[in-house]
Amino acid sequence: MPYSLRVFVGVWILYFLLVLLAPAYSMTSEMNQVVFLDAGFVALTSLVAVLTNYFLEKKLRVDSGYYLQQVQGISDKLIRFTLLLALVGLLALMFDKIQVQHIDYSGELARAREEWRELGEGREGVSSPYSMIGYALSTCFILTLVPLMLSPRLLRPAKIGIALLGLFFFLMLNSILIGGRSIILLTLCFAVAFYVIRRERGDRAYTFSKKTKIGLLILGGIAIMYIFYVFMSRASATHDGVSGAEYLEAMQEYMELKTATWPALLEKSFPALGSLVAFGMLIITYLCHSAFIFAEYLQHQTDYAGDPFILFNHMRGIFAKLGMIGPQSTDWFLAGRFPSLPGALFHDGGYVLLFVGTLILGGLVGVANFFTKAKQMSLMRVGFVSSVYTILFLSPLLFAPDIMSFPFIVFEFIMFGVLFSKFRITK
């Protein structure tokens, strides 16, 4: 089985382990059907991907026979340019949010995010040209990972360390500006996608020095603490004065779930530990609540007849803000909760769209796996493959293109693919 599909199956297994671990259970009787449909989605996607890749290898040549020679130092230039434009985008976002929209970041981060959300909902069009520049460029740091993970042999260790620190700096500041966690999840998934490309091409797993391992553990620890802080900040902003267990119960009720009693009992006996555990359990529930939302869709199909489509809602929202299409409704059944990709397909088109969408995803994965076999990969091709893999790996949680930053990352791959047309990942 291709490495990408092994990761895909592993992600879904981990996902259902989290569902079992979460201190909540569905109020519907459809969870068995959810497991069956999700398992069918995984199996059919994998089968179509394997068959598509097999057909392409039989019918087409992987390479055209013409290659551009790897330009010396182009990886260094790509790193510098991606980080420079990420800085430009970050400054533009800061100017827009602080000077143009006058969002107050001096208090709770969740309150700033809520203020930003309310301003966006009450406004037609974009807030300013700085906002457009900011969103278009601020996630360029993700492309910094391409040479770091796919052609590290061309870089000095010091350059890799500096680039990683710069990347982490921009990642955290972007997350703070929007008060969310999705950009951290998206960056992690693209990093996994780049690693999978490396393994699909026959490269060995990474070997890290002791110092590198310690550094990565420190950065990972900071990111995890920040995620805990975001959940605690939102608890303070939306349910002021409630305990961790009470906020867990309130959020699970919002997600249409029943809560287990043990988090409240633990917090009652050990307040500090219990509160920390409650927020940890909330993070787990948040990650896997899409399974329970799918179950709600299955049980209440008549309740969302005539709903607007969920798929590509964020991209449609961007086009609406730019005046290219009319206003888009986001008032669908259980709006604000995240369905998995199978769940979103089922919501928008029932069993037919679920089947067709699965075939399309499997075909795209098969094409992506075929592309990874080429002797050389352009930046544009890396962008296509990594985007498909990211959609694949995030399918248990949500539809990746509906994460706010995803369309802009695709745009950045296209832009840099043109600017760095001579960049190649070689075997």
* Measured distance CA(423)–CA(79) in Å, rounded: 12
Nearest to 387 by CA among 172, 55, 142: 142
Tens of pLDDT, residue by residue over 206-223, are 777 788 888 889 999 999
Residue 238: band (very low, low, confident or very high) from pLDDT cuts 50, 70, 90: low
Residue 217 vs residue 26, higher pLDDT: 217
Mean pLDDT confidence for 199-208? 79
Residue 371 has pLDDT above 80, yes or no: yes
Residue 234 has pLDDT above 90, yes or no: no
What number of H helices and E strands is found in the chain? 16, 4
Least confident interval from 17-26, 286-295, 362-371:
17-26
Residue 71 has pLDDT above 50, yes or no: no
* Measured distance CA(174)–CA(90) in Å, rounded: 7
Residue 64 has pLDDT above 70, yes or no: no
Residue 109: predicted pLDDT: 73
DSSP 258: E
* Measured distance CA(28)–CA(106) in Å, rounded: 42
Residue 400 has pLDDT above 90, yes or no: yes
Percent of the chain exceeding pLDDT 90 equals 36
Residue 232: band (very low, low, confident or very high) from pLDDT cuts 50, 70, 90: confident
What is the overall mean pLDDT for the chain?
Answer: 84
Residue 251 vs residue 401, higher pLDDT: 401
Neighbour-count burial of 118, counting CB atoms closer than 10 A to its CB (0-12 exposed, 13-18 middle, 19+ buried): exposed
Question: Chain-centre distance of CA 201, in angstroms?
Answer: 24
Residue 101, helix vs strand vs coil: coil
Least confident interval from 46-55, 74-83, 231-240, 334-343:
231-240
Question: Chain-centre distance of CA 321, in angstroms?
Answer: 22
361, 391 contact by CB (below 8 A) = yes
39, 77 contact by CB (below 8 A) = no
92, 127 contact by CB (below 8 A) = no
Residue 274: predicted pLDDT: 84
402, 314 contact by CB (below 8 A) = yes
Nearest to 329 by CA among 353, 301, 310, 303: 310
Q: What angle do CA 18, 21, 23 make, to 5 degrees?
A: 120
Residue 121: predicted pLDDT: 67
Residue 356: predicted pLDDT: 96
Number of neighbours of residue 347 by Cβ within 10 angstroms? 25
50, 2 contact by CB (below 8 A) = yes
Mean pLDDT confidence for 344-356? 93
